[in-house]
Amino acid sequence: MFEIKNGMSEEKIDDIGDNHVGSSAETPLRADAFDISDTEKIEKIQENVREILLTLGMDLTDDSLQGTPKRVAKTFVNELFSGLNPANKPRLSTFDNNYKYGEMLIEKNIVVYSTCEHHLLPIVGRAHVAYISDGQVIGLSKMNRIVNYFAKRPQVQERLTMQIVQAMQEALGIQDVACVIDAKHLCVNSRGIKDIDSSTVTSEFGGKFKDTNTKREFLDYINLKTTFE
């Protein structure tokens, strides 16, 4: 067991990761996170992935593996972790609620595909997001884009849930936003305890959604079976 810079032991660090404990409500980013371009990041990551594969004993002269380091690097920067870059944040345009719709609006079953920041393994599930308009509305597809943006970074599910709600609140200028996420963590399903059936549910309720009856109404709606034939 050794000591890390902040005085935390290796055992403690392992416990945090194995128990999926988040350390911050904000995504931990260094101040110089964007000092180099995406192209430079891909080049650096490519070399690191190459070293990892060589260390594992893989033969990178094999036709199937020759392009793997670059493919992984591009996937990290352009896809899996593209939500780290603020330049990729969706424009959250709002519109006047001219039709005076005053009930909650819910976008159900938004696909969540994220990555656990402790083991860099997938988090896969569904998000349900709702708000109650106070004069402004947001495009339905923007709700999907908000979820996708914050999911595309190393995450813990609790933080992801909170970030989605905070982004919606900021865009709409209201507190009346809610989000529930139900997801499987492959770091639980495929390693460690290897429980393939368990999933994790997190929630964040703002404003009127803290009211018991409003919260129950939202949860009842997301439990409705939506089928089309």
Pairing of strands 200-205, 136-138: unpaired
Pairing of strands 94-96, 136-138: antiparallel
Catalytic residue, chosen from 46, 117, 155, 179, is 117
Q: Is 46 a catalytic residue?
A: no
Closest of 96, 186, 194 to residue 138, by C-alpha: 96
Which three-class secondary structure state does DSSP give residue 219?
helix
Q: Is 128 a catalytic residue?
A: no
Catalytic residue, chosen from 46, 155, 157, 166, is 157
Q: Is 20 a catalytic residue?
A: no
Catalytic residue, chosen from 107, 118, 166, 204, is 118
Q: Is 116 a catalytic residue?
A: yes
- Residue 204 CA to residue 179 CA, distance in Å, equals 5
How wide is the angle at C-alpha 145 spanned by C-alphas 143 and 149, nearest 5°? 125
Catalytic residue, chosen from 20, 128, 155, 187, is 187
Question: Catalytic amino acids?
Answer: 116-119, 157, 185, 187
